[in-house]
Structure 1
Amino acid sequence: MSVALSSESLLDLAKSRAPADRERLLLAIADLCDTPHAGEAMMAPQIQGLLSSIFMSLVVEAERDIRQRLSEKLAGADWAPPALINVLALDEIEIARPVIEKSPLLRDLDLVRLLVEATIEHQVEIARRPRISQNIVSAILHQGEPAVLTALAANDSAELSPRDMAELVERSRQIAALRQPLARHPRLTSDLAERLYLWVGQALKKSLTDRFRLDSEALDRALAHSVAEAHAGAPRASGPRMVKARDGEREEMERRLIEKLHGAGQLRPGYLVRALREGRLTLFVTALAMLGRFEAGQVQRAIDSDQPELLGLACAAVGIDRSVFPTILELVRDLNGGRPGGGPDSGRRAVGAFAPVSPSVANAAFRQAARTL
């Protein structure tokens, strides 16, 4: 039977709603996939149009198991209709996984669209896809989703530039899951290994030391010095004072202090109250931004606004207890000229931000709200 006749028969089956015909259609497609040199014949323009009609007709109303079997069969085919592959890639993850992993028809633009539109599970599969390009790597880094970054770090075949590797190592300060795959990554350099050494556990410290012949004693001394310096902080103020305005040098010193605390695993939500009691508002802003992975400008705009509930969301996102927040709000207002304002009812509204939701939900809500400031 010729390919054209086979395709006409398939189209007749595609028009049928009978379950038996649907099964026969799937089996017929499977036979086409397994036919030697089928791809060469299927690439003919007149056949491509017919195939697109057949496949799309099947997928629109097909049962889940049929879509999954179709995805598995077409995952590696270079002659399948690209529109169908994109539809399958957006299906539920068990159906999408084979085509995301293998399909040569998914181009960079298709993958970037999936990163924007699809679920975290789909994004993780894209990060695991063999030999993803630097365009895809850049899109993943830009989004900064921890689970997707971790999958990227474990993908040895991804086109990671030295700058990309440096960014992943920097992100591993906050995302512990990145550390193990990065420690084993073939593109990790000795310079990056020294940076990674500062915030990994003992087992990975030994692995890095053995692999790159690092001077572990010198690195441990440097780490101990950083922790001691971070705990020492700056001299305590005699009382609350206005410290919002800082020159560039002081802001840089505070940023480095917070980075050292965070890198050593010593930055805790309780530090926010300490910073405010010492009258150090910009230190509070920097620490809150680091803990919540916010932009410092977002936090600053929130405390300058007339919406104290935004500060409540940010504090809820980093694990501040509801009972502690009124103290934080009062201290911030003392140091920030009465802001965030909002009127006599604002305190109650702000505490309402500590609704029974998870910190991740509060984090997302703060980010969304901060975009409008």
Structure 2
Amino acid sequence: MSNMPNTELVNFEALANEPDMARRNELARNVATLFSLTSEKCSDEQIEVYDSVLVRLSDMVEMQARAFIAGRLASLRRAPEGTIRRLADDDIEVARPVLEQSTVLRDTDLVEIALKRGEDHKVAIAAREILSEMVTDVLVESGSTAVHRTVARNGGASLSARGVLGLIQSSGLDEDLQMALADRQDLDERAVSTLAALASERVRMRLLETSTSEGGEVPRAARVAAQKLSNEFWLGRYDFETAIGRVYALARGPGLDEDTLVRFAEEDRFPEAVATFAMIGDIGIEEAKHWMVRTDTDPFLIVAKASELALSTVEKLLNMGPWRYRLQAEDRARILDRYKGIKPQSARLLLSQWHGRVA
């Protein structure tokens, strides 16, 4: 007797006995299309059903059908996680749109795929709208010239000092890579000097133009920089609805505590961390969302101190989600020093005043 699961969407027992691959492919396309049209209205339970079905279907259909599924799901904010990870680790014809576009993939997913897969996968990752230093470091260290050029041209890719140095050292006689680096707006004076020392004359002229120009001379970089200053840009990348449902389920079951918050931070599950922080801190979800994305972190620090969160927990939260991109190391050090100086009683009093409550 078969133990294959049946769902309201697919009878897998019957499908496994279906000899016509074209019918399997058609079914997979139909399920992916249906989900893509209804994802914003799906409940958490419905998304889980779709996820289970699409993962199983992806293992039963041809590459063209998997590529179709990937194309339908790649840009969805509420795409099913298991399916997205499955497709991202597929052949590049399937994986490319997911690696380039899906906001469901976390940095740990991207690093794992970059280390496991070939250059085409790395190039696709390097083309993402936003990349953290954690990911670009891996791409620079393990990638080819094509990967390096793609990273350097990506205005949304954050580069560590190590990453910048790695790209400069790799540029050698590669004028295209040197020019891409010269066009970046985030190189410090030391990096510019290092690049100029080995660059071609044309690249040196470009560096001079960039350093003396008054207007925003790299339109795409300027656009990305402006986006990264917007709280709404960051908040729009995350599926808070599903995350809130998960956290509420935990609250009704085993409960929420600081360990739960730490786990979400370590897994870089920003929306779950926001919902947990809101419940622990007794504040609204909308407040928590905005206070955990803005670069003025004082409201977040007040709630954290009123909840008596450990300094190590606050540090983990400052290194996840949008703050991973928006805060520099010196910013985090300053914020942690500020947190140490806040008294829990003062924080609780201030929080009560914000809520209009009597302390």
Q: Normalized against structure 1, the TM-score is what?
A: 0.49
Q: Is the 8 A contact 2:129 2:154 kept in 1?
A: yes
2:200 paired with 1:201: yes
Amino acid at match of 2:29: L
1:49-84 deviations in Å (ceiling 9; x for gaps):
422331122111212221111000011234433222
User: Partner of 1:137 in structure 2?
Assistant: 136
Kindly tell me: are residues 32 and 48 of structure 1, through their superposed partners in 2, closer, same or farther at Cα, counting changes over 3 Å? closer
2:160 paired with 1:161: yes
Matched residue pairs, number? 204
Identify which of structures 1 and 2 has the higher relative contact order when contacts are C-alpha pairs closer than 8 Å and 6+ apart: 2
Percent of aligned pairs sharing the same letter = 25
Question: Which runs of structure 2 are paired with 1:179-194 in the superposition (5 Å)?
Answer: 179-194=178-193
Amino acid at match of 2:34: D
Q: Is the 8 A contact 2:36 2:72 kept in 1?
A: yes
User: Partner of 2:169 in structure 1?
Assistant: 170
User: Partner of 1:96 in structure 2?
Assistant: 95
Q: Is the 8 A contact 2:179 2:206 kept in 1?
A: no
Gaps of 5+ in 1: 1-6, 215-373
Q: Is the 8 A contact 2:31 2:54 kept in 1?
A: no
User: Partner of 2:354 in structure 1?
Assistant: none
Q: CA deviation at 1:87?
A: 1.8
Question: Which SS does the other structure have where 1:10 is aligned?
Answer: coil
2:117 paired with 1:85: no
2:34 paired with 1:31: yes
Q: Is the 8 A contact 2:130 2:156 kept in 1?
A: yes
Q: CA deviation at 1:113?
A: 0.8
Q: CA deviation at 1:122?
A: 0.2
Gaps of 5+ in 2: 1-5, 214-359
2:119 paired with 1:124: no
Q: CA deviation at 1:144?
A: 5.2
Question: Which runs of structure 2 are paired with 1:1-373 in the superposition (5 Å)?
Answer: 8-12=7-11, 15-16=14-15, 17=18, 18=20, 19-20=22-23, 22-35=25-38, 38-44=39-45, 47-143=46-142, 145-173=144-172, 175-213=174-212
Kindly tell me: are residues 15 and 110 of structure 1, through their superposed partners in 2, closer, same or farther at Cα, counting changes over 3 Å? farther
User: In 1, Cα distance between the equivalents of 2:183 and 2:171?
Assistant: 14
Amino acid at match of 1:98: P
Q: Is the 8 A contact 1:93 1:122 kept in 2?
A: yes
Q: Normalized against structure 2, the TM-score is what?
A: 0.51
Kindly tell me: are residues 183 and 41 of structure 1, through their superposed partners in 2, closer, same or farther at Cα, counting changes over 3 Å? same
Question: Which SS does the other structure have where 1:129 is aligned?
Answer: coil
Q: Is the 8 A contact 2:175 2:200 kept in 1?
A: no
Question: Which SS does the other structure have where 1:198 is aligned?
Answer: helix
User: In 2, Cα distance between the equivalents of 1:95 and 1:74?
Assistant: 11
Q: CA deviation at 1:154?
A: 1.1
Rg (Cα) greater in structure: 1
Q: Is the 8 A contact 2:122 2:143 kept in 1?
A: no
Kindly tell me: are residues 15 and 98 of structure 1, through their superposed partners in 2, closer, same or farther at Cα, counting changes over 3 Å? farther
Segment drifting more, 132-141 vs 94-103: 132-141
Q: Is the 8 A contact 1:14 1:22 kept in 2?
A: no
Q: CA deviation at 1:97?
A: 0.7
User: In 2, Cα distance between the equivalents of 1:154 and 1:107?
Assistant: 22
User: In 2, Cα distance between the equivalents of 1:14 and 1:81?
Assistant: 23
Q: CA deviation at 1:21?
A: 5.5
Kindly tell me: are residues 62 and 140 of structure 1, through their superposed partners in 2, closer, same or farther at Cα, counting changes over 3 Å? same
Q: Is the 8 A contact 1:85 1:105 kept in 2?
A: yes
User: In 1, Cα distance between the equivalents of 2:190 and 2:133?
Assistant: 22
Q: CA deviation at 1:202?
A: 3.1
Q: CA deviation at 1:189?
A: 3.8
Kindly tell me: are residues 13 and 80 of structure 1, through their superposed partners in 2, closer, same or farther at Cα, counting changes over 3 Å? farther
Kindly tell me: are residues 25 and 118 of structure 1, through their superposed partners in 2, closer, same or farther at Cα, counting changes over 3 Å? closer
Q: CA deviation at 1:207?
A: 1.8
Kindly tell me: are residues 167 and 24 of structure 1, through their superposed partners in 2, closer, same or farther at Cα, counting changes over 3 Å? closer
Kindly tell me: are residues 60 and 205 of structure 1, through their superposed partners in 2, closer, same or farther at Cα, counting changes over 3 Å? same
